Amino acid sequence: MTTDPVRLLSQEDDAFTTSLLRSARDGDAETARSRKAAVLGAAGGAAVGAAALLAAKAAPRAFWSAVGAKWLVAGTLAVAGAAGLSAAFLWPTSPSPAPSLAADPDRDPASQARAPGKEGAGKEGAGKEGAGTPEVDPSRAAAAPADPAASPGPADPSAQPADPAAESGASAPAFPGSDSAPDPNADPAGEASPGGATGGAGDAAAARSAALASSNASNPGPPGAGGPASAAVGHTPPASAGAAPADAASSAKGEPALAEEVAALRAAHEALGKGQSQRCLEAVDAYFARFPRGHLSAEARFLRVQALAGAGRRAEAAALAKSMLAASPRSPYAARLRSIAGEDVAPAGQ
Amino acid sequence: MSVTGIALSETADLEEGLRERERPFVLDGAALRALQEEHFEFLWRSLRRLGVPESDVDDAVQQVFLVAARRVIQPGAERSFLFSTALRVASHARRTLRRRRESGDAVPEQTDATPSPEELLDQRRARALLDDVLEALPMDVRAVFILFELEEMTVVEIAQVLGIPTGTAASRLRRGREMFHEAVARVRGQVHRKQP
């Protein structure tokens, strides 16, 4: 049996050495604690389509895995949302702007859906701790006790923002006026919410953790897992009806439609892969004609940007990329959009 | 996007990166969550001390859990598995960092080596200097050193976590301490020279 030597911090009387060691022993421990709260808390709360974020880092080749993952996330959206609800309650620094949200019956679902995006965008520069996150998630969750019946509702938007899968579904009812607008460019607001909220989280790792959690949650039995929870969403009162029914609908009968959407986009993606930009554009147009409010509209738009760029229509590609970035600066595709838009650095404050 | 962010495309370069991705999840959500709850802080501290820049540690921690989620880990061996995975992730992150330094890309969080005495008192400054000191230790030695001196594990525990004989752990600790003191003297000299 070895006898351990005395630790340097206990025996060393050189102030310089001990200050170095102490900085790591105490400082790291402290930071680790706060990062755990931020990352795991956010992950639990925001069922984030971090899978998509994740994929964004791995950009093109991860396209389909992102699509797949996002649907795993969507399938278990409600489950993760419910988990997020409890996690958000545990949030250590919950500033609770919740009452104002919950107590404001005049606030329409659309503005609720968009609010986090704007807040998040505004606070994007606020630093690594993701100042937006604690405000967004706990507020959603804290609305629950105020109105127990509404609990599935708040969970939903909190899960929705970072999940581009939910984005189009959720944004559609929130913008009834845009129903007839198949052109995705016309409705950047649909992206503003998820993008901004992700920005609020300001925390790719948190998102990644959520991806991990949500892909896992879906692992045992993918879309079925969303069943009971999405049933609960059906009880959502009108206040949060903006986002919820779309999810309920997509969970309930979304599978065939989803498969069709994926198939439709696969054609576009394959065309792009073969360098057939025109065919890709046609396939994207066909996709939007068929699914004006499709769940993969962000992917479709991204494909369109790439195809335009590939076809040498760089100005159009850059313009579209810019509009997508403006609407959703933290989009999973932001990095690539920026390079196509000719912006090397993310515009601050967007 | 952080400049030093460990892009996932780079993760794919990790020896088992690609295979990992295709591997199905073994842990269910609850089990993974429990694993994260229990080991997040340990991993965060360890990765940081193994040389991952602070801005990248969150990502690195998640990479470790991503690997863990796809593995069957023997009960009781979690910490050992996680730490050895963290060692791989940290080595890779450091290689990436070194490449970027060599290629002249901006690498934040390097010490600028012109601290005032006040700054020296600052914990962040001290932490950055410690990074410099620990850089002098080879990874295997560094692992033992940080687990013993900072994590305050016993040599026996360290040997278990690293899966090495106790004697090896003890000798690495000895070497680590020697190298640590040498590096501290060097860094101290630099700091003093820079001071007016």
CB half-sphere exposure, B149, CA atoms < 13 A: 28
Residues in CB range of B31: below 8 A, 6 or more apart: none
Task: Give residue-wise pLDDT tens across range A129-140.
Answer: 333 333 333 333
Closest CA to B64 of B53, B55, B56, B75: B56
Helix (H) or strand (E) holding A124: none
Rg (CA), chain A: 22
Q: Which range has the top average pLDDT, A11-15, A176-180, A250-254, A333-337?
A: A11-15
* Nearest CB partner across the interface for A8, out of B45, B129, B149: B149
The answer to whether the CB atoms of B155 and A8 lie below 8 A apart is no
Query: If you average pLDDT over residues A275-293, what whole number do you get?
Result: 87
Residues in chain A: 350
Higher pLDDT, A56 or A20: A20
The answer to whether the CB atoms of A39 and B61 lie below 8 A apart is yes
Under a CB-based contact definition with an 8 Å cutoff, are residues A193 and A221 in contact?
A: no
CA distance B29 to chain A (A): 5
* Class of residue A98 by CB neighbours under 10 A (exposed 0-12, middle 13-18, buried 19+): buried
Mutate to test the interface with B, among A20, A128, A331 (most CBs of B within 10 A): A20
- How is residue A59 written in tokens? 């950009």
Check residue B34 and give its pLDDT: 87
Residues in CB range of B50: below 8 A, 6 or more apart: B86, B87, B90, B91, B94, B139, B142, B143, B146
Helix (H) or strand (E) holding B114: none
Chain B residue numbers with beta carbons less than 8 Å from the beta carbon of A212 are 32, 62, 65-66, 69
Under a CB-based contact definition with an 8 Å cutoff, are residues B186 and B178 in contact?
A: no
Higher pLDDT, B156 or A314: B156
Q: Rounded CA gap, A288 and A296, in Å?
A: 10
* Nearest CB partner across the interface for A24, out of B25, B130, B154: B130
* A49 — pLDDT class (breaks 50, 70, 90): very low
Higher pLDDT, A231 or B118: B118
CA max distance for chain A:
77
For residue A62, what is the nearest residue in chain B, using CA coordinates?
Answer: B9
Check residue B181 and give its pLDDT: 95
Under a CB-based contact definition with an 8 Å cutoff, are residues A205 and A39 in contact?
A: yes
Q: Which range has the top average pLDDT, A78-87, A126-135, A305-314?
A: A305-314
Query: If you average pLDDT over residues A76-101, what whole number do you get?
Result: 43
Q: Rounded CA gap, B6 and A108, in Å?
A: 40
Q: Rounded CA gap, B99 and B114, in Å?
A: 24
The answer to whether the CB atoms of B45 and A8 lie below 8 A apart is no
Chain B residue numbers with beta carbons less than 8 Å from the beta carbon of A205 are 58-59, 61-62
The answer to whether the CB atoms of B44 and A35 lie below 8 A apart is yes
CA max distance for chain B:
59
Which letter does DSSP use for residue A185 in this model?
G
Phi, then psi, of B53 in degrees rounded to 5 = -60, 150
pLDDT in tens, chain B (196 residues): 443 444 444 444 444 554 555 566 677 778 888 889 999 999 999 999 999 988 889 989 998 998 888 877 888 888 999 999 999 999 988 888 778 777 765 544 444 444 455 554 577 788 889 999 999 999 999 999 999 999 999 999 999 999 999 999 999 999 999 999 999 999 888 877 766 5
Closest CA to A79 of A212, A217, A250, A207: A217
Under a CB-based contact definition with an 8 Å cutoff, are residues B146 and B180 in contact?
A: no
The answer to whether the CB atoms of B173 and A39 lie below 8 A apart is no
Q: CA-based angle B52:B53:B57, to the nearest 5? A: 65
Higher pLDDT, A98 or B192: B192
Q: Rounded CA gap, B114 and B112, in Å?
A: 6
Closest CA to B97 of B188, B7, B194, B189: B7
* Nearest CB partner across the interface for A27, out of B127, B129, B166: B127
Mutate to test the interface with A, among B13, B20, B33 (most CBs of A within 10 A): B33
The answer to whether the CB atoms of B69 and A216 lie below 8 A apart is yes
Q: Examine the pLDDT at A157 and tell me if it is beyond 50.
A: no
CB atoms within 10 A of CB A129: 15
Task: Give residue-wise pLDDT tens across range A173-187.
Answer: 333 333 333 343 433
Closest CA to B49 of A7, A13, A23: A23
> Given CA atoms A166, A168, A171, A173 in this order, what sign does their dihedral have?
negative
Q: Average pLDDT, whole number, for chain A?
A: 56
- How is residue B87 written in tokens? 């060692």
Chain B residue numbers with beta carbons less than 8 Å from the beta carbon of A220 are 28
The answer to whether the CB atoms of A2 and B48 lie below 8 A apart is no
Check residue A88 and give its pLDDT: 45
Higher pLDDT, A1 or A311: A311
Q: Rounded CA gap, B102 and A187, in Å?
A: 44
CA distance B10 to chain A (A): 8
- How is residue A328 written in tokens? 């959703």
* CA distances, B26 to each of A71, A77, A153, A216 (Å): 19, 20, 31, 9
Chain A residue numbers with beta carbons less than 8 Å from the beta carbon of B42 are 32
Q: Rounded CA gap, A275 and A280, in Å?
A: 9
The answer to whether the CB atoms of A28 and B7 lie below 8 A apart is no
Q: Rounded CA gap, B75 and B82, in Å?
A: 12
